[in-house]
Amino acid sequence: MLILRRINWRKSKRRGFLIVVLLFAFCLPRELFDSPYATVVEDDDGALLMATIASDGQWRFPPGNEIPGKFETALIEFEDRHFYNHIGVSFIALVRASIQNVSKGKVVSGGSTLSMQVIRMSRNRKGRALKDKLIEMFLAVRLEWRYSKSEIIELHAAHAPFGGNVVGLEAASWRYFGHKPSQLSWAEATTLAILPNSPSLIHPGKNREQLLAKRNRLLKRLWKDESMSAIEYQTALAEPLPDKPLQLPQLTPHFLTKLNIENPGQRRFKTSIRRNLQRNLNRLSDHHHQNLSSRGIENHGIIVLDVKSGEVISYVGNASKANQASFVDVIQAPRSTGSILKPFLYAGAMEKGQIAPQMLLVDYPTRIHGYTPHNYEDSYDGMVKASEALSRSLNIPAVRLLSDFGVSRFKNDLEGLGLTTLFRSSEDYGLSLILGGAEATLWDLSHAYRQFATSAQKLTVNNELKRFDPAVAYEILDALSGVNRPGQEKYWERFDGHSKIAWKTGTSYGARDGWAIGLNADYVVAVWVGNANGEGVAGMTGSNSAGPILFDVFRLLPNGSWFTRPVRHMHHVSMCEQSGQRAGLHCPKTIEQWIPNTCLVTSACTFHQVLFTNLSGTKLAFRGDEEVLNQTVFTLPVAAAFYYKMNHPEYKKPPSTGASGNVKSTDMDIMYPQPKSKIRIPKLMNGEFGSVVFEAVHQVESAELHWFMDNNFITSTKDIHQVPLRPKAGKHLLTVTDHNGLSISRHFEVLYSERI
């Protein structure tokens, strides 16, 4: 029996030991704290940009930041001097607490270590029962086995109460002192080291004297322990206690929303935002909102990118003092693009070898497949250099260029640049794609424009966005930095920044959206202005609304650098000064220019040719004539010449063919209809069908033109050669003759549409 008892006792001891081991191993939950955390957004230097309170109403920041040395030293000195020498329980502290409690006749000290305090906070215990103390001692030893000393300090700092609804060192540092924990002074660090033990001391009133006394006693202990110098000690004593809690910064509300959407469940975001720049842009935004709102413009967005990294360094999703739509992040909202896409088209055409930077493009009233674009000011140059057409944002050259380039190809290029909102087919967009027929976000456009800067500098980027030829990108940026701006954009000359910038504006149909995007080698700034509800504002343009914001933002940025001409991707060639094409045999004046290698395939000058004329140079002649003069002339298409000579009085029209009866005339042209075109005539609101205005031009201003439809005379015109007609459905032949008997004809087809 005795042997059996001994065996049973041994088994019981083993079982008991096993139970204790298992209990010790699994006594701590996997997650020590299940408290909800605030959402925190930090700048590129770890400073607080934005925070939202935790779901339980506490300012409790998620763990993650390192504990500053001053706070750790003060906390250990105040709470647990033997922290690095015990295993979770300090028997020295327990003995000292027992002696103090007996001598005072009440509980004045618990002898708890920092590890035991972490356990108490995780259990959310309030009382001081002996049973709870023993449990905490057991769990504290287990805590020391799972976590390192530094991790235990971090847990304590993240979950300790600091008065009111402030929990954790980081939240306390921002709420009471307005900066991150790493910037705490000795006085601030000791104040926060004391509060978890007596969080009510922070509240105004008589407690503040007690708090000050405790802080100063702790400072003295630290000084005597040589944790701080005498000068640091005296300076710390002179610092006042904090006043009422500070409001936490709310610098990036829309950016926080974006981060939450993209990273659900994440509670701490380290961003590339620059805090001082963001604060200044918020003030700038408020200033401009005052001016814009008086004009009925309530919303705007601003985004700034670092070119080299592609990171967002400032983000103003909307005016903070806007109307009820201020919560809308307009940077992420698709809006009509206006003219803001034109640089991408010119770049694509230049890469394709379709145009050269100074090549002349057509600029006169145009109808293509029923689409009739107009320049913003309804003025036309006849012919204009490509770089000037881009910098002046002329619509006619852009539409004609898109027609040649191809809508489908251009749409693919835009998608390759990262535009994510082109949901319709190329056929649905048509030629209006270049003038605001599509929608894009300020986010996508800012990153797409960045590709010009990275391509021009041949920077290596981590994304898969379309890259431009470096020389083409340089030419586009050079054109957008030029001074040849329309009248409403002349304000740019008042820009007193020292850095050169390339910039483009855009305005959507109905004045609903105003765009301005600018860049140099270091920064991209993109601005959208309008009303989030889509309401248009009379007189609003990208130039007069978004443009001023753009230049004010650049004034806040450090001076950026400009681009170096990428000559390895260019050729130095002889160019016709007048036409902008490669010099031909008959060009009277040429200049040497750098052009992108992709433009070498463009043709030689087609505008200069040698003609045989009479001695006066007024009429064409033949080599067999007795008196013949050969001369080099600059010849433009008749329709282009009609408008070109209005802005270039030096232009001389080519010699006339005379009354020779030639079918083809160099003196006149039919503007509308285009050859073999199909004209759709819609039904009007009153139920009747509309009419079509046919138009012709003539080199001679006083010329009289005679109009024939299917060989039947219609009318004659002088000065303004426009004739409204309503032809029958079917195919027709329009013929126009001038006073010399010269004629020109057009075949076209008319279709009637019953749809109103």
Q: Dihedral of CA 555/556/559/563: which sign?
A: negative
Residue-wise pLDDT for 638-688, tens only, equals 888 888 888 888 888 777 654 443 334 567 888 888 787 788 777 766 667
User: Is residue 698 helix, strand or coil?
Assistant: strand
Is residue 260 predicted with pLDDT exceeding 90? Answer: yes
Length of the chain: 756
Determine the pLDDT at residue 205: 61
Whether the Cβ atoms of residue 471 and residue 566 lie closer than 8 Å to each other: yes
Tokens (6 digits) for 398: 């852009």
Is residue 740 predicted with pLDDT exceeding 60? Answer: yes
CA distances from 745 to 705, 730, 740 (A): 13, 17, 16
DSSP annotation of 487 reads: G
CA distances from 225 to 57, 127, 412 (A): 39, 33, 71
Higher pLDDT among residues 730 and 654, named by residue:
730
Residue-wise pLDDT for 153-189, tens only, equals 999 999 999 998 999 999 999 999 999 999 999 999 9
Q: Which parts of 546-607 are beta strand (E)?
A: 570-576, 590-596
**Alpha carbon distance 290, 514 (integer Å):** 17
Residue-wise pLDDT for 278-296, tens only, equals 999 999 999 999 999 999 9
Composition of the chain by helix, strand, coil, percent to 5: 40, 20, 40
Residue-wise pLDDT for 29-82, tens only, equals 777 888 899 999 999 999 999 999 999 999 999 987 789 999 999 999 998 888
Contacts of 667 by beta carbon, 8 Å cutoff, 6+ apart = 638, 653, 656, 657, 698, 699, 700, 703, 738, 740, 742
CB burial class (10 A; 0-12, 13-18, 19+) of residue 487?
A: exposed
**Alpha carbon distance 326, 613 (integer Å):** 70
CA distances from 337 to 12, 330, 429, 437, 512 (A): 82, 13, 12, 7, 10
**Which residue from 452, 437, 347 is spatially nearest to 401, judged by alpha carbons?**
347
Determine the pLDDT at residue 57: 94
Determine the pLDDT at residue 248: 94
**If you average pLDDT over residues 482-489, what whole number do you get?**
53
Whether the Cβ atoms of residue 453 and residue 521 lie closer than 8 Å to each other: yes
Give the least confident one: 51-55, 491-495, 693-697: 491-495
Is residue 109 predicted with pLDDT exceeding 60? Answer: no
**If you average pLDDT over residues 461-489, what whole number do you get?**
77
Query: Sheet holding 722-725: strands in order across?
Result: 668-672, 692-698, 722-725
Q: What percent of the chain has pLDDT over 90?
A: 56
**Which residue from 272, 38, 69 is spatially nearest to 174, judged by alpha carbons?**
38
Give the H/E segment covering residue 492.
none
Whether the Cβ atoms of residue 118 and residue 151 lie closer than 8 Å to each other: no
Longest dimension (CA), the chain: 151
Whether the Cβ atoms of residue 219 and residue 237 lie closer than 8 Å to each other: yes
Determine the pLDDT at residue 40: 95
Q: Which parts of 685-729 are beta strand (E)?
A: 692-698, 704-709, 712-718, 722-725
Is residue 495 predicted with pLDDT exceeding 70? Answer: no
User: Is residue 500 helix, strand or coil?
Assistant: coil
Q: How confident is the model at residue 342 (pLDDT cuts 50, 70, 90)?
A: very high
Whether the Cβ atoms of residue 210 and residue 203 lie closer than 8 Å to each other: no
Determine the pLDDT at residue 304: 98
Q: What percent of the chain has pLDDT over 70?
A: 84
What is the C-alpha radius of gyration for the chain, rounded to an integer number of angstroms?
Answer: 39
Determine the pLDDT at residue 515: 97
β-bridge mates for residue 72, sequence order: none
**Alpha carbon distance 481, 477 (integer Å):** 6
Whether the Cβ atoms of residue 667 and residue 699 lie closer than 8 Å to each other: yes
Residue-wise pLDDT for 587-630, tens only, equals 999 999 999 999 998 889 988 888 766 666 666 666 555 566 67
DSSP annotation of 740 reads: T
**If you average pLDDT over residues 480-491, what whole number do you get?**
60
**Alpha carbon distance 151, 145 (integer Å):** 11
Whether the Cβ atoms of residue 717 and residue 697 lie closer than 8 Å to each other: no
Q: What residue has token string 């991790």?
A: 151
Is residue 352 predicted with pLDDT exceeding 90? Answer: yes
**Alpha carbon distance 19, 21 (integer Å):** 5
Residues with catalytic roles: 79, 339
Whether the Cβ atoms of residue 259 and residue 38 lie closer than 8 Å to each other: no
Contacts of 557 by beta carbon, 8 Å cutoff, 6+ apart = 277, 304, 522, 523, 525
Q: Which residues of 185-218 are buried (b: 16+ CB within 10 A; e: fewer)?
A: ebbbbbbbbbbbeebebbeeeeebeebeebbeeb
Q: Is the peptide bond between 673 and the residue preceding it cis, with omega within 30 degrees of 0?
A: yes
**If you average pLDDT over residues 449-457, what whole number do you get?**
95
**Which residue from 151, 152, 173, 169 is spatially nearest to 160, judged by alpha carbons?**
169
Q: How confident is the model at residue 563 (pLDDT cuts 50, 70, 90)?
A: very high
Rounded to two decimals, the pTM is 0.84
CB atoms within 10 A of CB 41: 23
Instruction: Calculate the average pLDDT of the chain.
Output: 86
Is residue 334 predicted with pLDDT exceeding 90? Answer: yes
Most confident of 121-125, 329-333, 708-712: 329-333
Determine the pLDDT at residue 726: 86
